[in-house]
């Protein structure tokens, strides 16, 4: 073989070899590319898996929320149905109630008018009481040589007699024309005694439970101190007013007090309270129904210079005392009724009936004159 041919064959083999090597090289590089692509596809698939999982979770949450909303809607629908049923029932009841109200109004109106008639009648009677000549101080007979005041400032309007604030407005002013503002130091001490007994700031506190305003206490002391004779008290309770009266008798060094109460238990307390205070030796305690005791006293011909009425404040009990008072008082004697100024005054159905009882029993009797109010008390005097 010629060199030329040999070189040609060698050249051809070399070229073939080269082509083969290039082909293998090309195939290797395409495998690398495929590997890179596979890697990127794996990463993409992973991300898609994660996204799908997140979407699944979101869908589950939305399903749960939808279920909860369905449940809430069902509850609200049920509630609305119940309310609709309730409204329907109320709408059915309303005409019945309206009818009932109409019937009650029909019944109430005549009652209101009855109350108004009572009010009007009492008002006219009270007006007559206020217009009697006794309102004039100069016409009042002397008391134990003293000029006597009828205290017209305290002859409050009929309307104010029911006003629970009135007792505070009816301040104490003396009835007997003694020198100065107070009868003595003990009297003055009452005027500055603290309030607040039993938690009520308007009740005087001198160490014994009871229902006296300062103006009540001052008037009781004054009338007891200047009493023309012995004293009778109805309603001892725990001895508050009893102590004031006993002290006044001791201070003026005259007279005796009989105090009446129906309650055995509180009477024991009253005896203890009074026993340690001035004037206790002047006090007789009677445990009995007041009217029964008054009948005994009238039968015995007993007379008193001052009577303080503070037992049961009902109409009957007060009326029974008021019509007997003329037989128990000395001429010129005074009688003081507690709770004359009271919110129950114009309602004849109210348990308290001091004002109407006095209007019915004392007003028609010309021998009595009105001497004004002090606190919630009303003072009357027998003038002949």
Ligand X SMILES: C[S@@+](CC[C@H](N)C(=O)[O-])C[C@H]1O[C@@H](n2cnc3c(N)ncnc32)[C@H](O)[C@@H]1O
Strand partners, 176: 148
Q: Which of residues 239-268 bind ligand X (CB under 6 A)?
A: 240-241, 260-263, 266
Q: How far is the CB of 238 from ligand X (least distance, A)?
A: 6
DSSP-derived pairing of the beta strands 257-261 and 329-337:
unpaired
The span from the CA of 348 to the CA of 338, in Å, is 18
If one asks whether residue 295 binds ligand X (CB under 6 A), the answer comes out as no
If one asks whether residue 290 binds ligand X (CB under 6 A), the answer comes out as yes
Pick from 312, 315, 370, 380 the residue near ligand X by CB under 6 A.
Answer: 312
Q: How far is the CB of 193 from ligand X (least distance, A)?
A: 14
Please report the sign of the dihedral spanned by the C-alpha atoms of residue 122, residue 124, residue 127, residue 128.
negative
Pick from 140, 212, 249, 359 the residue near ligand X by CB under 6 A.
Answer: 212
289 CB contacts (<8 Å, ≥6 apart)?
Answer: 262
Pick from 156, 218, 317, 354 the residue near ligand X by CB under 6 A.
Answer: 317
Kindly state the number of chain residues that form the binding site for ligand X, as judged by CB under 6 A.
Answer: 19
Q: How far is the CB of 224 from ligand X (least distance, A)?
A: 13
Please report the sign of the dihedral spanned by the C-alpha atoms of residue 248, residue 212, residue 258, residue 358.
positive
Q: How far is the CB of 212 from ligand X (least distance, A)?
A: 5
Q: How far is the CB of 164 from ligand X (least distance, A)?
A: 16
If the CB atoms of residues 140 and 358 are measured against ligand X, the closer one turns out to be: 358
If one asks whether residue 202 binds ligand X (CB under 6 A), the answer comes out as no
The span from the CA of 243 to the CA of 274, in Å, is 6
If one asks whether residue 175 binds ligand X (CB under 6 A), the answer comes out as no
Q: How far is the CB of 94 from ligand X (least distance, A)?
A: 47
Asked if 371 contacts 175 with a C-beta cutoff of 8 angstroms, the reply is yes
The span from the CA of 290 to the CA of 296, in Å, is 10
Asked if 235 contacts 286 with a C-beta cutoff of 8 angstroms, the reply is no
Pick from 246, 310, 361, 368 the residue near ligand X by CB under 6 A.
Answer: 310
Asked if 240 contacts 207 with a C-beta cutoff of 8 angstroms, the reply is no
Pick from 126, 155, 158, 211 the residue near ligand X by CB under 6 A.
Answer: 211
Question: In this chain, which stretch among 19-27, 187-195, 248-256, 310-318 interacts with ligand X, using CB under 6 A?
Answer: 310-318
Closest alpha carbon to 275 in 250, 245, 239: 239
The span from the CA of 272 to the CA of 101, in Å, is 55
Residues interacting with ligand X, by CB under 6 A? Answer: 210-212, 235, 237-238, 240-241, 260-263, 266, 289-290, 310-312, 317
């Amino acid at each position: 073989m010629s060199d030329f041919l040999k070189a040609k064959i060698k050249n051809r083999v070399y070229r073939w070899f080269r082509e083969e090597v290039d082909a293998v090289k090309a195939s290797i590089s395409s495998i690398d590319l495929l590997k890179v692509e596979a890697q990127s596809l794996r990463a993409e698939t992973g991300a898609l898996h994660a996204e799908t999982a997140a979407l699944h979770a979101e869908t589950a949450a939305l399903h749960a929320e939808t279920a909860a909303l369905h449940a809430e809607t069902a509850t609200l629908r049920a509630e609305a149905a119940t309310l609709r049923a309730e409204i329907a029932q109320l709408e059915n009841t309303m005409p019945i109630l309206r009818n009932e109200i109409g019937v009650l109004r029909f019944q109430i109106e005549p009652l209101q008018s009855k109350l108004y008639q009572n009010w009007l009648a009492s008002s006219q009677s009270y007006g007559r009481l206020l217009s009697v000549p006794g309102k004039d101080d100069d016409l009042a007979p002397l008391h134990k040589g003293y000029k006597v005041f009828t205290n017209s400032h305290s002859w409050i309007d009929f309307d104010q007699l029911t006003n629970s604030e009135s007792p505070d407005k009816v301040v104490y002013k003396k009835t007997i024309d003694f020198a100065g503002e107070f009868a003595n130091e003990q009297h003055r001490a009452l005027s500055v005694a603290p309030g607040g007994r039993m938690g009520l700031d308007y009740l005087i506190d001198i160490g014994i439970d009871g229902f006296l305003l300062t103006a009540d206490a001052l008037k009781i002391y004054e009338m007891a101190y200047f009493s023309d004779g012995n004293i009778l008290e109805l309603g001892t309770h725990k001895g508050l007013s009893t102590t004031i009266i006993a002290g006044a008798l001791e201070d003026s060094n005259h007279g005796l007090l009989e105090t009446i109460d129906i309650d055995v238990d509180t009477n024991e307390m009253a005896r203890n309270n009074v026993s340690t205070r001035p004037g206790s030796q002047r006090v007789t305690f009677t445990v009995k129904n007041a009217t029964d005791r008054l009948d005994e006293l009238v039968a015995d011909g007993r007379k008193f210079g001052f009577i303080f009425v503070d037992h049961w404040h009902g109409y009957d009990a007060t009326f029974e005392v008021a019509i007997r008072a003329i037989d128990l008082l000395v001429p010129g004697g005074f009688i003081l009724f507690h709770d004359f100024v009271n919110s129950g005054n114009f309602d004849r159905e109210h348990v308290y009936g001091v004002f109407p009882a006095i209007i019915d029993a004392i007003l028609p009797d010309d021998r009595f004159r009105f001497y004004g109010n002090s606190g919630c008390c009303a003072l009357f005097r027998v003038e002949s």
